[in-house]
Amino acid sequence: MPESSNMQHSPNDSKNLVYTDKKRVKVYVLENNEWKDTGTGFCQGVVEEQTDADLQFPKKQAYLLVVDEDADDQVLLKSRLERNIEYQRQEETLIVWKDLNGQDIALSFEESVGCDSLCEYICFVQKNIETRISLVAVRSTDDGIGSVHEIITGPVNLPSNEENQTEDSLLEALKILNENTSFDYLRNETIQFVINDHYLSILIKSFNQSERSKLYRNLLLLSNIIKTLILFNSKEIVEEMINEENFLSICGILEYDTEFPKSKLNHRQYLNDKEPKFKEMVPISDQSIKLMITQNFRLQFLKDVVLVRFLDDQSFTFISDLMLSYQNSIIDFLQEDGNNFINQVISMYTSEENSNITPDKRRDGIKLLHECVQLSQNLNSIEKTLFYKFLIKKGLFQVIQFAFNMETNNDVRILATHIIVGLIEHDIQLIQSVQNDEVSSLKDQNANIQSTDMSLLLILTKILLTDKSPGLREQSFQALVSLLDPEDYIVDDFQNHDDSIDTRIDNMLQIQNGKNRDEPDTDRNSERFQLAEYLQRFYKQVAPTLFHCFIDKSVNLHSYDQQLLIKLVKLLNLMIQGHEASISRRFILENGILIKLISLASNTYILQLRLAAVRCFKNVVFLNDDFYLRYLIGKNLFDPVFQVFKENLHEDNIANSTILDFLKSLNAELKVVEDEDRSLIGNKSSRNFLLLNKYICGRYGDLLQSANYVTFTQEMMDTYNEEMQRLPSISTTETSFDENDNTTLEVEV
């Protein structure tokens, strides 16, 4: 704040305005290439105003004034800020410049705060009094070599704002705009110019003229100018570009591209003819939201179609962020109950009165809900959960059920499954939460009423098993995978939602084999409890239908589509790996599912299916579960696996590699056992692999020995031979693992 100080009264009625407090400095001047200390004092920014009868405005002259600290009537420096002097701020505390006499001067401030203060003063002077001076901050670069000059204030080159632009003025404009992207100060000044001087309108006018007169060079220049303006990453500029008035013309300008000078894209034609329409299904009263929806679409069009080859990472991120802010607002709007938008959409499916709604409109509704879910993809996790819960509470599932039960158009049904998959993949507990609400409201009713989550599973099962559309079956399969994967229950921020069922199974294997399990806390306990209940219901109500073809003895699996069988095998794999054995094993063993499973390895099936069955089988083995291993050996279920091996014994192909991988892993387990003290094998599980090895080598030893192109098969045989020598009395068909094992499992023979 300038304080008026009447230090001096001169005849023409002048006064001095002091702009800063006194700041302590040392003054240096350059003489004979050396900086000479000319004294220490206090520096102030001072403006002398001289009013004159002849002058309309008072004449102002700005100075940097330093007075001696010991004698304040002694002036050490009075340097005028004038013409185009460049002031350099170096380090944090130096201001260095060359005055008009060629004299190099430096002010070294005691404190950087002091330097800040005088720099502000210089900026002030530049803006108001001497516009051609400049202040530049000089910093050394990160690698210590060279320096960066960043302009803090100074005169700014701006494009011409003439109504009539010529090729020259456009070329000049392009050059200037390119330069001005480099520093914040220039950037900000340019943005102000573009907005205040309505530069976009000027450009658009020039564009229309150039198009009419076929001035191609102008058109290319205009295109580059617009692109450069986008690189400014300015919300104001971009929003002006996508407003109702300008958007079409901007797209028009961008149809021309210097990379393809003889061609022209057709954005305007596309927008006009194909007319991607904003379908306002239910009226939206809030105009600003309607605007955002349109703007969101336009930005998407710019980002993905018009500018797709052009945007660099920064601008891409900038536009994405802008879209995100619109999307957040739209989602907020949807969730505000007062607006009733979602209510109206969903009531089309639930309310009796709405039976006159056309199927087309219902289809559109599902598409809209699908877009809601798509839109929310970029929200953070918590916001997403809130939004999905909101949709569910409003009745999303009723819409989904409608889609599955009533809708015949496949595309729409696929969208519905897409919605479900989206919800499930975000947080499976959302489905859970609906079920819990239902249960509490159905307290008095029959406990066998199917809850929403089981209904959902049954619907998905039905689609997987019977629907004609392979695409829909695929989607249902994915949904089932997500719904049956317990990882999504237990791990809180399981962000890494890899679609691949194979990876999920791998993950489970790691958890199963993990020796260190943390003591579960009470939250985990309740989650595990809920999960256990959910899975119990699944095995009781859904699994028998889903795996019907594996359970029913009269079924001939050869009459089934093999791709379907592959999917069932994968699901089985996931269940065996991921669900607690105490819940799943009974179902698996009681229904003889493993027998059917391994029968799929026979050469009457396609190879993909055979190997899928073998892989599932492998995973069962490496669960190292006593019951399973006993069962597999007792029923000689390894036979089909080694049949595959035999058929491909001397081939170098996937089938051969799959079995080799299995044997290699088994051998690796044996090595682990060897590390432990053999004589103290109290550990049941490590003994399991030894016994398994004994069974395999005893029964398939010839095959193993024939596979002499790898070493581990021989190692397995060696281990077997050692064991045989150690305990010759144990027959090779011994299958009991522990004589003290009193638990019995009712297993169908």
Where on the chain is the footprint of another protein (CB under 8 A)?
257, 260, 262-263, 265, 270, 274, 276-279, 281, 293, 296-297, 300-301, 304-306, 308-309, 330, 364, 367-368, 371-372, 375, 411, 414-415, 418, 470-471, 474-475, 478, 498-500, 502-503, 506, 563, 606-608, 611, 615, 651-658, 660-662, 664, 709-710
> How far apart are the C-alpha atoms of 461 and 480, rounded to whole Å?
8
567 vs 630, beta carbon nearer another protein: 567
CB atoms within 10 A of CB 320: 14
Place of tokens 């300038």: 2
Smallest distance from the beta carbon of 347 to another protein, in angstroms?
A: 17
96 vs 704, beta carbon nearer another protein: 704
Smallest distance from the beta carbon of 246 to another protein, in angstroms?
A: 19
218 vs 296, beta carbon nearer another protein: 296
> How far apart are the C-alpha atoms of 21 and 44, rounded to whole Å?
6
Smallest distance from the beta carbon of 366 to another protein, in angstroms?
A: 11
Interaxial angle between packed helices 341-350 and 381-394, expressed in degrees from 0 to 180 and rounded to the nearest 10: 40
Smallest distance from the beta carbon of 470 to another protein, in angstroms?
A: 6
Smallest distance from the beta carbon of 492 to another protein, in angstroms?
A: 21
Smallest distance from the beta carbon of 153 to another protein, in angstroms?
A: 34
Which residues touch 390 (CB under 8 Å, ≥6 apart)?
Answer: 334, 335, 342
Closest to 550 in 3D by CA, of 589, 514, 593, 520: 593
What do you get for the CA distance between the two ends of the chain, in Å?
Answer: 97
For residue 302, the 8-state DSSP code is I
Torsions phi, psi for 101 (to 5 deg):
-85, 0
- Cβ–Cβ under 8 Å, residues 121 and 47: no
- Cβ–Cβ under 8 Å, residues 420 and 391: no
364 vs 438, beta carbon nearer another protein: 364
28 vs 301, beta carbon nearer another protein: 301
> How far apart are the C-alpha atoms of 316 and 362, rounded to whole Å?
36
> How far apart are the C-alpha atoms of 703 and 706, rounded to whole Å?
5
Smallest distance from the beta carbon of 265 to another protein, in angstroms?
A: 6
Smallest distance from the beta carbon of 276 to another protein, in angstroms?
A: 5
In the chain, the amino acid numbered 162 is: E
Smallest distance from the beta carbon of 628 to another protein, in angstroms?
A: 20
337 vs 661, beta carbon nearer another protein: 661
359 vs 471, beta carbon nearer another protein: 471
- Cβ–Cβ under 8 Å, residues 207 and 222: yes
Give the DSSP H/E element, type plus range, for residue 640. Answer: helix 639-647
> How far apart are the C-alpha atoms of 651 and 643, rounded to whole Å?
14
> How far apart are the C-alpha atoms of 580 and 743, rounded to whole Å?
18
DSSP string, 173-217: HHHHHHHHTSSHHHHHHHHHHHHHTTHHHHHHHHHHHHHHTT-HH
Could you give the C-alpha distances from 289 to 280, 285, 578, 640, in angstroms and in order? 12, 8, 45, 63
In the chain, the amino acid numbered 716 is: M
153 vs 296, beta carbon nearer another protein: 296
For residue 337, the 8-state DSSP code is G
For residue 273, the 8-state DSSP code is I
Smallest distance from the beta carbon of 281 to another protein, in angstroms?
A: 6
18 vs 414, beta carbon nearer another protein: 414
Question: β-strands 86-90, 134-140: how paired?
Answer: parallel
243 vs 469, beta carbon nearer another protein: 469
In the chain, the amino acid numbered 577 is: Q
510 vs 740, beta carbon nearer another protein: 510
624: left (phi over 0), alpha (psi -120 to 50) or beta: left
Give the DSSP H/E element, type plus range, for residue 242. Answer: none
- Cβ–Cβ under 8 Å, residues 215 and 167: yes
Could you give the C-alpha distances from 14 to 10, 54, 147, in angstroms and in order? 6, 14, 42
8 vs 653, beta carbon nearer another protein: 653
Smallest distance from the beta carbon of 713 to another protein, in angstroms?
A: 10
Smallest distance from the beta carbon of 243 to another protein, in angstroms?
A: 18
Smallest distance from the beta carbon of 305 to another protein, in angstroms?
A: 5
In the chain, the amino acid numbered 136 is: V
> How far apart are the C-alpha atoms of 157 and 179, rounded to whole Å?
9
Smallest distance from the beta carbon of 293 to another protein, in angstroms?
A: 6
Smallest distance from the beta carbon of 666 to another protein, in angstroms?
A: 12
Smallest distance from the beta carbon of 254 to another protein, in angstroms?
A: 11
244 vs 661, beta carbon nearer another protein: 661
Torsions phi, psi for 232 (to 5 deg):
-70, -10
Three-class SS state of 454: helix
475 vs 688, beta carbon nearer another protein: 475
279 vs 515, beta carbon nearer another protein: 279
Each as own residue / partner, the long-range contacts of residues 317-322 (CB below 8 Å, 24 or more positions apart, any chain) are 318/233, 319/238, 322/235, 322/238
15 vs 418, beta carbon nearer another protein: 418
- Cβ–Cβ under 8 Å, residues 668 and 721: no
- Cβ–Cβ under 8 Å, residues 730 and 572: no
Smallest distance from the beta carbon of 169 to another protein, in angstroms?
A: 28
> How far apart are the C-alpha atoms of 247 and 706, rounded to whole Å?
73
For residue 91, the 8-state DSSP code is T
46 vs 366, beta carbon nearer another protein: 366
